[in-house]
Structure 1
Amino acid sequence: MTSVLTISAGLSQPSSTRLLADRLSTAVRGEQGEETAVDVVELRDHAHDITDNLLTGFANQRLRQVLELVDGADGLVLTSPVFTASYSGLFKSFVDVVDPESVRYKPVLLAATGGTERHSLVLEHALRPLLSYLRAQPVPTAVYAASADWGNDTELNQRITRAAGELATAVRTEPERVRTDPFDDPVPFEQLFQDTTAH
């Protein structure tokens, strides 16, 4: 069974970002079939945990469970509201505490919500470069939903369906990721000691 994790960085309840996240999750599940588990995580529920991690360098148990879901997922759906022409601070703070190896080469569907269509380029000038920097594999179609899209959303539905199909295909064809544990093959203490005495 494959797994897809949807992250929603919406701040309000109810949230248009969560609404978009749910529609994307449903579309991905429809493309993947019953053999795919799709989980949704609301970052607002972990805002304090994320801040504590940034301040202390350690994830508490609640946040560690979310980070383990990120690591174990075969694909990700990342959704953020647009604030000041970019992703939200909560979204970026979460990305800052994620182990880059957890998303390396992993298929990712990018999505954002905002008040007007003029913010739609945030997907290409902010979100895509961020995930490319982490060496994730964003699918070609990103989904932006402005306030006007919720009234007559035929075009939004088409984008959701296309993006979900791309993520489903990427997850199915993704080669198995092999994670290496640096503690599996430690450097012998004698060698470390020799290296320090050589100077």
Structure 2
Amino acid sequence: MPQTRVVGISGNITRPSRTRAFVDHIVHRLAVDAGASAQTFDIEDFGASLLPARRLDELAPEARYVVGQILAADILVVASPTFKGSYTGLFKHVFDLLDPSSLRGKPVILAATGGGERHSLMVEHQLRPLFGFFEALAMPTAIYASDKDFADGALASEAIHARVGRAVGEATQALARAARASLAA
């Protein structure tokens, strides 16, 4: 049986970033708990062809590779920094290029980062509807981390660690249910 694949997508365009570190943390924890392989990408990994692309076939090979990894993943961890109450435009543009049915039923952990608690509902009001459109299986526990939840670029908040644990638990259960259904079929 092929190994489960976890893919993380950070909507940040700068490196290093707290959002990328946050995604890496969630992806690593999920990979360990699920016995999965893991990869994380950010907007920079798509290269210059992302911005002008209107279709997947207009992307450069490195960007098409990242899209291929997203589509082939057994589970996604997606996060964006909060910009004016929503996800970044290039993060959204990545998903605008995908076929609406391409993520149907795929488990997704939703996360975001932001400057303060004021933006904490961005995950529920922006990310959840986006992945609902794709009919993805968004985990019930979404995770938002603000600047105060990090120390030296790493996640430091015990409350956020607990939410990560809860979301990872939900995701591993979703993967187990999918594996049982696949065996039964």
TM range (shorter): 0.7 to 0.9
Q: Which one-letter code corresponds to 1:92 in the other structure? A: K
- Report SS of the residue matched to 1:52: coil
In the alignment, structure 2 segments of 5+ residues that lack a partner are none
Shift of 1:102: 2.2
Q: Percent identity?
A: 36
- Indicate the residue corresponding to 2:95 in structure 1: 95
Tell me which of 146, 167, 170 is aligned to 1:166: 170
TM-score in terms of structure 2 length: 0.88
TM-score in terms of structure 1 length: 0.82
**What value does the CA root-mean-square deviation take over the aligned residues?**
2.0
Which structure has greater helix proportion?
1
Give distance in 1, aligned partners of 2:180 and 2:92: 27
* Aligned CA distance change for structure 1 residues 177 and 39 (closer, same or farther; 3 Å): farther
| 1:169-188 alignment, distance < 5 Å | 169-174=173-178
Contact 1:3 1:74 in 2 (8 A): yes
- Indicate the residue corresponding to 1:188 in structure 2: none
Structure of higher CA gyration radius: 1
Q: Would you say how many aligned residue pairs link Structure 1 and Structure 2? A: 176
Give distance in 1, aligned partners of 2:41 and 2:128: 20
| 1:41-52 alignment, distance < 5 Å | 41-52=41-52
- Report SS of the residue matched to 1:40: strand
Which shows bigger deviation, 50-59 or 74-83?
50-59
- Indicate the residue corresponding to 1:16 in structure 2: 18
- Report SS of the residue matched to 2:82: strand
Q: Deviations over 1:116-158 (max 9, x none)?
A: 0110100011100010011111000011000111245110110
Tell me which of 155, 160, 163 is aligned to 2:159: 155
